[in-house]
Amino acid sequence: MEISDDEAAQASGGVDQAATPLPDTANAVVHEFGTWSDGQQLQLVKKLMFKLKHKDLMEVASAIKPILCRDFISNLPSEITEKILSYLSPATLCISEQVCMAWQQIVAGKDNVLWR
């Protein structure tokens, strides 16, 4: 499995930081990486991160942030979502509607169950 130019650009926020392509050994490591245990993968990533400069770590952090965001409300069954949101005050429900379009649709709901 080689690192494609698209994957490299996406990981670097769309900016190609590398002036030269990765050596074949890097692609070999990426290929092998997928066969390692979770602990081994984490150990390598930590070692690599300690080798990075601060500005590069900031770029890694920016690339990781969207991956770590989870919209659990939109992914849960509607009955569970309604139960969770039913504990919110009306003021908090109003704020929740402003999070994103998906949450607005959930909070507004087709039956307005949460506003009863």
Question: 82-103 pLDDT, tens per residue?
Answer: 888 889 999 999 998 898 888 8
CB atoms within 10 A of CB 55: 7
At 109, give phi and psi (nearest 5°).
Answer: 55, 160
- Identify the burial level of 106 via C-beta atoms within 10 angstroms of its C-beta, where 0-12 means exposed, 13-18 middle and 19 or more buried: buried
2 pLDDT above the threshold of 50? no
CATH code for the structural domain at 72-115: 1.20.1280.50
Q: What are the residues whose beta carbons fall under 8 Å from the beta carbon of 114, sequence distance 6 or more? A: 82, 85, 86, 88, 93, 107
Q: Is the Cα dihedral 100, 102, 105, 109 positive or negative?
A: negative
0.85 surpassed by pTM:
no
Q: HEC profile for 63-91?
A: HHHHHHCCCHHHHCCHHHHHHHHCCCCHH
pLDDT on residue 41 = 96
Q: Which two tokens stand for residue 108?
A: 């507004």
Q: Per-residue pLDDT tens for 17-42?
A: 556 788 989 989 999 999 999 999 99
Between CA 105 and CA 110 the distance in angstroms is: 8
**Domain-by-domain residue ranges, the chain?**
5-68, 72-115
